[in-house]
Amino acid sequence: MKVKILSVGHAGFLLKTEDVNILIDPWFYPAFFNTWFPYPNNRFMEDVLLNEKIDYLYLSHEHEDHFDKKFLSKFDKDVKIICAKFPSPILTNELQKLGFKNLIHLNHGETFNINDKIKCKMFLDNSHSEDSALLIDFDGFTFLDMNDCQMNLKLIPKVDIMTCQYSNASWFPQCYNYDKKTMKTKISELNDILKQKLVDKVKHSSPRYFIPSASPCVFLNPDMFHLIEGDTTFLKWRDDYWPTSVDSFFKETFPNIHIVELTAGNSAEVDEKSIINKKTIFEPISELVDISSYSELRKNEWDVDFVGNIDIEKLNTYFKNLMSDNLELVLCLKKNKRFIISSDDKNYLIKLNHRIDEVVKEVDSDFYEKTKINYKIEIPSMILEKILSYESDWETALLSMKIKLTRKDDVYDSDLFILLRSGHKPTQTKRYVSLSKKIDDVEMINKGGYKFNKYCPHAGEDLSEVDIVDNCITCPRHHWKWDLNTGKCIRGGNINLTME
């Protein structure tokens, strides 16, 4: 079967056969409070897709660089949409609000036959996160779109073509108030972790071809240029879609895997299970050779007023409801967990205690420095206002890179941030509680003379296949590390293993 793979930019692809066209994760318009933009510029591909016959649209998850509401609002509402059957209904609700009716929900491991020669299989992220990957079998030629999904490594299938994220799309460490030296060290460590994650995925999939996707985004507001320039950022704007340093590393590690680099408008043709032709199909209307040109072109989109109005009563009501909706997690928090929210010129003390009525109190600007409170969150009032009115959420706010975090103890507080980032999806926080073994039914494994959690207590990764090195294990997902002699987490976080 002949298949044409057309890149539409970032993590987006159009897969074309003689009978069926499948579109994956198109993204054109700014995401996360108008801060993220696709790089390279791919807006010229929008009309191409709107004028193309699309039979199926696969949307992997709800993050705005994969779920572009503005573009989807223009799209044919009769298209058949393939999406994962997530525990929470948020993605489904958003699609229905946009007017889409033909939704095909697939459970983890479930197969859907598009026709007698083309079938697809769904894989879900194995943690509390709601993300997915899709395996498409074109009459024996297999294409795996993993994008951002973190699958159990043992479940990654062997395929002909694999495409996945190779760069980081996280707010850590850039949202933290680290000094330049510390930031550089953190980013260097993170880049090493990203390379290892890429190696783990590719090694288990053993593809003949690898297509890099979900490249670093770009920030076009000049106030945010520091996030994409210099040696203290992993979100660095590059002249290359697939950086030379990553290319060299990949080729050295996997000399027998062919890299197929596709930027927006480029295509590759598959025939007899081999890629036989790669070419540029659609040229951009204007080549943006530098970030200043791109920034000027999109000024009306990134020039956002981040000032809003904060009502302390709304803030109090919001956190009371957040705790009520996620009581199982809140009951696991340390007694009287507190943190500071700073917005514009006001500071608020938040007490995560579901037994009291007033959980928010306005405090002086130096309150944080005078106390032992660990976390301080600085957030623009407009973004906070959107969160309080349930028009947005903390994860979107963090990914906007408009939030600044300060912590006295440089250890990630998983409980607090799961509550904030996933509290609008109580099904996720309940899964987190289960996976982090804060309930009694802890599943254990025996390995190398030790008995410990089968699943990572941070994000649920299966630890049964990890190697024991120097009496320690390292999670393949976020690379937290534990000493098996004590169960103590010695790198990454503050959750220990259960040992027997």
Per-residue pLDDT, 241: 59
Per-residue pLDDT, 437: 59
Its pTM stands at 0.91
399, 67 Cβ separation under 8 angstroms = no
DSSP 16-84: E-SS-EEEE----S-BTTTTEE-SS--GGGHHHHHTS--SEEE---S-TTT--HHHHHTS-TTSEEEEE
Q: Which amino acid is located at 263 in the chain?
A: T
DSSP tag of 455: B
438 Cβ neighbours under 8 A, 6+ residues apart: 332
Of the candidates 115, 114, 111, 113, the residue with the CA atom closest to the CA atom of residue 123 = 111
In three-state form (DSSP H/G/I as H, E/B as E, the rest C), the secondary structure along 38-56 is CCCCCHHHHHHHHCCCCCE
Two tokens, residue 445: 């494994």
Strand segments (E) across 114-195: 118-124, 132-138, 141-147, 161-165
**What is the chain's pLDDT, residue by residue, as a tens digit (500 residues)?**
999 999 999 999 999 999 999 999 999 999 999 999 998 889 999 999 999 999 999 999 999 999 999 999 999 999 999 999 999 999 999 999 999 999 999 999 999 999 999 999 999 998 778 999 999 999 999 999 998 898 888 899 999 999 998 877 789 888 999 998 998 888 888 877 788 888 889 999 999 999 988 877 889 999 998 888 766 555 554 445 567 777 888 999 999 999 998 889 999 999 988 988 877 777 665 555 578 889 999 999 999 999 999 999 999 999 999 999 999 999 888 767 899 999 999 999 999 988 889 999 999 999 999 999 999 999 999 999 999 999 999 999 999 999 999 999 988 888 899 999 999 999 989 888 877 655 445 788 999 999 998 888 776 777 887 889 899 998 877 778 899 999 999 887 778 898 98
Per-residue pLDDT, 439: 46
SS3 at position 341: strand
Share of the chain above pLDDT 90, in %: 65
Could you read off the pLDDT of 342-357 as tens digits, one per residue? 999 999 999 998 888 9
Of the candidates 26, 109, 111, 36, the residue with the CA atom closest to the CA atom of residue 69 = 26
C-alpha 380/C-alpha 378 separation (Å) is: 7
Per-residue pLDDT, 151: 85
